[in-house]
Amino acid sequence: MINSFTVKISKYILALILILSTYISCKNQEEPPVPFVPTGSDLPEYRNNFGVSWNGVANLSDNLAYAKQMGYGYVFYMNGMESDPLSDNLYFFIESPQYNSYSRYINTTLTYNSTKTDFYNNYCTLKSNDPFPTNLATGWFADANNFSAELDFQQKKVIDWAVADILAKVKAIESVNPKFHFGGYSWDVPDLQGAFYNKNKADGGLPTTLKFWTGGDYGVIYGNNVHDYSTYSDGTAEFYKALFVATKLKYPFFKTIYEPYSLYDQWISKVKDRADAKQIMPDLLSQENREVTFLDDSRIFATYGTSPLIDKEHVASSAPANFTEPANRINAAKLAMNRSWFNWFGRVGGTGDMPTYGSMKDVPARLKLIRVLPNWENINNTPITSRTWNGILYKSPKAYASDSAISVIQPKTGKQFIVFLKSTAVVDLPAGKTVKSISLTDGLFRETTDAKADFIITSDNKIKPLGSAVLEGCYIVNF
């Protein structure tokens, strides 16, 4: 027979086990760390962003170093950035975030297993009931044998899956480096009707819509799937809205950037009459087209409903096809005169007369400096009344651009960045300031050797080069 003492001991042991198991269970179910939520004053200016994410993949650290040297608080995310200490205290945009959720490119020369074909058939947009992969509506062609399969946003289950996966990706990046903060999303050439192509662009392919295959703004339903939204356009809009609502719950400060080729034709005209137009508008609308004539297009800034969809302080230009000095000077000056912005988006060149650059080190100094002129003017709060542009010369108390020189005062540091293009150039220095040093910079605009002896500082506080050896390089003046 078991005595009472043994029974008591057994009860104590059971109680102890219960307490320990409860403690362990609670520890395992602790809430994850609360996402970093800065106050408004902590946030850098998102409209001044370093958007290079397709070029220079092998030079990831260079991109981060350049961004920090230039005072960019926001960068476009590139795989591996979170593992580089230089990402500390920066914010990142994920470009076209839905493409991070699956292997988007289909290689028509390969055979796929049933698991993969089931995913593409059930989650991607179909143009027909033909066998896989000829049933898939073709997106961007990487080459003749590889095309992008596009998610079927007419299905709510696809939207829900994509939103959850995107937020999981954000969390995974931040978990590697909690000092690298999520900043928002960006989309290249967004179109509610989808990014579809009729065939490889190299073979004469052009952007198209689902109507090319199905006769309307809709895809073909696979198996027992259901199209919750009657058009692909409505489905895409629902994706944006669902993603924005879910993201705002965790990151109330996040921002969005779209870059259509043309602000009006490729975006405003397509959404302006929608009841949900304002819900799917970005915080910054950037144009890829090499011109900035959109600044004079009243249709973009007109009132739709009860208010405009966008204003001039929330539009930008990326103009990746512009290489010449005059073209970039004109764009920068017009943007500055309208408090608009000038950024890179995705790539550096590769079209028009702009070469393809694999690293920021290779980009001419004049191109790098002219890109920040409007932005630094805006961040410096240079009054519009103090900004002048006569079609040739841009000038303000803190910036200068002509065919002979480019000069801008960097916000916060007060340093003056100058690129001399002609040996006859003369640039004003800030009134009341004394030059402490002048440094030549490297390809990432980091200060290197002393160069004060290469310039003349006049009695009326102007700087000019002693010869042509300094032309096309960037120099930083400290006061």
Q: What is the pLDDT of residues 265-276, one digit of tens each?
A: 999 999 999 999
117 compared with 22, residue with greater pLDDT: 117
* Sheet containing 138-143: order of strands: 105-107, 146-149, 138-143
pLDDT at 211 over 60: yes
Q: What percent of the chain has pLDDT over 70?
A: 91
pLDDT at 307 over 70: yes
pLDDT at 20 over 90: no
Average pLDDT on 36-61 reads 80
349 compared with 270, residue with greater pLDDT: 270
pLDDT band at 59 (very low <50, low <70, confident <90, very high): confident
| DSSP code for 45 | -
Contact 463/426 with Cβ under 8 angstroms?
A: yes
Tell me: the pLDDT tens digits for 272-299? Answer: 999 999 999 999 999 999 999 999 999 9
* Domain architecture of the chain: domains with CATH: 41-393 (3.20.20)
What sign for the dihedral angle of Cα 154, 157, 158, 160?
A: positive
CA 69 vs CA 266, 375, 414, 442: distances in Å: 34, 15, 13, 11
Single pTM value for the model: 0.90
Contact 334/295 with Cβ under 8 angstroms?
A: yes
